[in-house]
């Protein structure tokens, strides 16, 4: 008879919900400076997320996907990567992308719908944001296979949510990556909700991590609100990938504190008490702050200074982005192909004539 407990899975947690170190925990080998730097990224990204949410409500950016509550999962994982590694993000991974080097101004341009906003700066290995659910899993697998064939030691990381595991692309990507021992990491941020669909309607399995078993790869479930645990698990996955041991599936259990996007009203489907419990008792910033405070590395005064500094940095990036010349409709044709063909040029010219006639963009 089938027994779901036969599918063993590992759950990794180093810091408990109240910020204390578990007795059996082996903390990562990070300096005090690195620990503080990780926390600073968390604070900065929380402030950035809150700022973007306000800007959307003010009509200054387009539809926005908040990530508050998922900072530990994104920052802890991205912090374990090398500069030349590849990130394949969905629309909720701005924190991971910025840790990897993506400029804040560029991120704001993207959210404003500027054509330049989708351009990745030279030398930065981040693919454009993928809107198609789970599409980036295949892209990451392909990139990793290419790196292996070329003898490079780059690894690829695909970020996606729990809802993406219901898509065929997810399963195809895991299968082809495992068969070819591709140096790729599949990083699932299980935030419990795929818009209004809860996790129990996505899968009947106990965990998402155990799905790795079917494809012959290692799967680990980690406390996604514990930044040190995420970093440790990601380090192991990175090491395995570089050593030719193949891909790994990581399920970071976290929670989306806000709406799916600014076009969503989570009060229609989510229990307010559930949200309150996660925010008050399992916030990743509060947990890591307590840990650093116990080590004498952070105080409330220092935190307030950080907030002041980062708010200034964010406002500066917003100011620069809003001063950037808006895209015009005809410019969109320049981003279709590397070398435009005759029909595309004709279409662009037609739009330019229409714009000239209307005197607008």
Whether 203 and 161 share a structural domain:
yes
Whether 181 and 288 share a structural domain:
yes
Whether 130 and 52 share a structural domain:
yes
Residues known to be catalytic: 256, 260, 269
- Residue 93's nearest CA partner among 84, 85, 102 is 102
**Vertex 91: Cα angle to 103 and 249 (nearest 5):** 105
Name the 3-class secondary structure at 79. coil
- Global pTM? 0.94
Domain that holds residue 291: 4-325
Name the 3-class secondary structure at 181. coil
Tokens for 351, please give them: 């739009």
83-124: pLDDT as tens digits: 999 999 999 999 999 999 999 999 999 999 998 888 899 999
Whether 277 and 357 share a structural domain:
no
Task: Please tell me the total count of domains within the chain.
Answer: 2
Please give the average per-residue pLDDT across 331-341, as a whole number: 91
Q: Is the predicted pLDDT of residue 1 greater than 50, yes or no?
A: no
Please give the average per-residue pLDDT across 221-227, as a whole number: 98
Whether 354 and 213 share a structural domain:
no
Whether 232 and 271 share a structural domain:
yes
Whether 126 and 253 share a structural domain:
yes
Whether 332 and 197 share a structural domain:
no
Whether 184 and 285 share a structural domain:
yes
Whether 184 and 318 share a structural domain:
yes
245-266: pLDDT as tens digits: 999 999 999 999 999 999 999 9
Whether 199 and 98 share a structural domain:
yes
d(CA 218, CA 215): 9
By percentage, how much of the chain surpasses pLDDT 90?
91
Q: Is the predicted pLDDT of residue 43 greater than 70, yes or no?
A: yes
Helices of type H across the chain: 32-57, 71-78, 94-99, 104-111, 135-150, 168-179, 227-242, 272-281, 284-294, 300-323, 342-358
Whether 252 and 340 share a structural domain:
no
Residue where the block lists tokens 């155990």: 210
d(CA 142, CA 60): 36
Q: What is the CATH number of the domain that holds 187?
A: 3.40.50.970
- Residue 152 half-sphere exposure, CB side, CA atoms within 13 Å? 13
């Amino acid at each position: 008879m089938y027994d779901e407990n036969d599918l063993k899975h590992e759950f990794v947690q180093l810091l408990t919900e109240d910020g204390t170190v578990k007795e059996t925990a082996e903390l990562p080998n990070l300096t005090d400076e690195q620990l503080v730097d990780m926390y600073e990224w968390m604070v900065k990204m929380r402030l950035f997320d809150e700022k973007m949410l306000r800007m959307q409500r003010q009509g200054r950016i387009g539809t926005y996907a908040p990530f508050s509550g998922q900072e530990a999962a994104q920052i802890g994982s991205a912090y374990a990567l090398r500069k030349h590694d590849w990130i394949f993000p969905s629309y909720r991974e701005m924190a991971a992308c910025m840790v990897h080097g993506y400029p804040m101004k560029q991120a704001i341009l993207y959210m404003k719908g500027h054509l330049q906003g989708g351009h990745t700066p030279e030398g930065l290995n981040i693919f454009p944001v993928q809107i198609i659910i789970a599409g980036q899993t295949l892209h990451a697998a392909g990139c990793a296979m290419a790196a292996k064939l070329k003898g490079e030691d780059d690894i690829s990381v695909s970020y996606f949510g729990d809802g993406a595991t219901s898509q065929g692309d997810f399963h195809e990507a895991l299968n082809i990556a495992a068969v070819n021992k591709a140096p790729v990491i599949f990083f699932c941020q299980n935030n419990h909700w795929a818009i209004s669909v809860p996790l129990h309607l996505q899968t009947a399995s106990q965990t998402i991590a155990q799905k790795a078993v079917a494809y012959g790869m290692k799967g680990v479930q980690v406390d996604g609100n514990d930044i040190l645990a995420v970093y440790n698990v990601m380090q192991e996955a990175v090491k395995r990938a570089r050593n030719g041991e193949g891909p790994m599936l990581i399920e970071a259990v976290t929670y989306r504190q806000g709406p799916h996007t600014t076009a969503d009203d989570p009060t229609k489907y989510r229990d307010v008490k559930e949200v309150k419990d996660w925010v008050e008792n399992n916030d990743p910033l509060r947990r890591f702050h307590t840990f650093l405070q116990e080590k004498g590395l952070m105080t409330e005064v220092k935190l307030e200074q950080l907030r002041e500094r980062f708010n200034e940095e964010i406002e500066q990036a917003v100011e620069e982005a809003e001063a950037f010349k808006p895209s015009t409709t005809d410019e969109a044709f320049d981003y279709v192909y590397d070398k435009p063909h005759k029909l595309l040029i004709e279409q662009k010219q037609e739009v330019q004539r229409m714009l000239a006639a209307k005197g607008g963009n």
